[in-house]
A and B are shown apart, each in its own frame.
Chain A
Amino acid sequence: MTVQLVIFFLLAGVAVAGALSLILQRHPIHSALSLVVVMMALAGLYLLQGAEFIAAVQIIVYAGAIMVLFVFVIMLLNAGEEERTNLSRMARYVGLPLGTFLLLQLVFWIRRAPAPAAALSAGPAPTRKLAMMLFQDFVFPFELTSILILIAILGALVLAKRES
């Protein structure tokens, strides 16, 4: 067992435990913190695969910005524990078997699928090449995303504005 495999299983265990905790916790703030743990573990997995830039973006944007927004809203709304209803009992008896079935199906078929061609570049993916690609081949989608962000900010402002 190589060092990389050990690190992978460690991080994968942390990620799955965090995801399970997200589902099982009753309080939304605990779920949010579990999700941060998942994101951190995934950033480690990206580093393990040589995607340094994506790992940094994962921590800065996902764990840093998006999750802070979530925690902020949870605290703003003073969200308490979720309440049980009749439908949640139905979700347990129908949703749990179906969800588990989907999970097992996904894992089963991915394990059976033929492995893609052998890795061409085993070394770390150069961030420089990624930047060249982002600003040459994908420059139009890149500019589009900035417009998307602008529209999203405007939309959020208009939605959350208090009507006077």
Chain B
Amino acid sequence: MVPVSYYLVLSAILFGLGVLGFVFKRNIITIFMAIELMLNGVNLAFVSFSRALGQLQGQVFVFFVIVVAAAEAAVGLAIIILIARNRQSLNVERVNLLKL
């Protein structure tokens, strides 16, 4: 049996790498993928706790997170297509309409 703390450390590492990608990347699609990576890290923590506590609610929650991620991907990618069409670029620094 693998200890729960191993899974939690892995989940923290994945979440941290997602944050790093979010801060680092300039391409808007890659930033979006970094968000998905963070969601996956949290999902892993949910499943680990679900097993550790012997309750299934965690897995139900992962199911809902996946559904919301799918909805988010659909709307987010539509917005990305719009930005690419209007700015002719996927660089987030070109999207500075709200900047002073």
Binding site for B on A (CB under 8 A): 2, 4-5, 8, 12, 15-16, 19-20, 22-23, 28, 31-32, 35, 38-39, 42, 45-46, 48-51, 53-54, 57-58, 61-62, 65-66, 69-70, 73-74, 76-77, 79, 82-85, 87-88, 91-92, 95-96, 98-100, 102-103, 106-107, 110-111, 113, 115-117, 119-122, 125, 129-130, 133-134, 138, 141, 145, 148-149, 151-153, 155-157, 159-160
Min CB gap B39→A, angstroms: 9
Total A-B residue pairs with C-beta atoms closer than 8 Å?
237
Establish whether residues A152 and B74, one from each chain, have CB atoms under 8 Å apart when the complex forms. Answer: yes
A53 to B63 alpha-carbon distance, docked (Å): 9
Q: How many B residues have CB within 8 A of the partner chain? A: 71
Contact B70 A106 (CB under 8 A): no
Instruction: Give 13 A-B contacts (CB < 8 Å), ordered by A residue.
Output: A38-B37, A49-B51, A54-B62, A61-B70, A69-B77, A82-B26, A103-B12, A103-B16, A111-B9, A119-B1, A130-B56, A149-B67, A152-B71
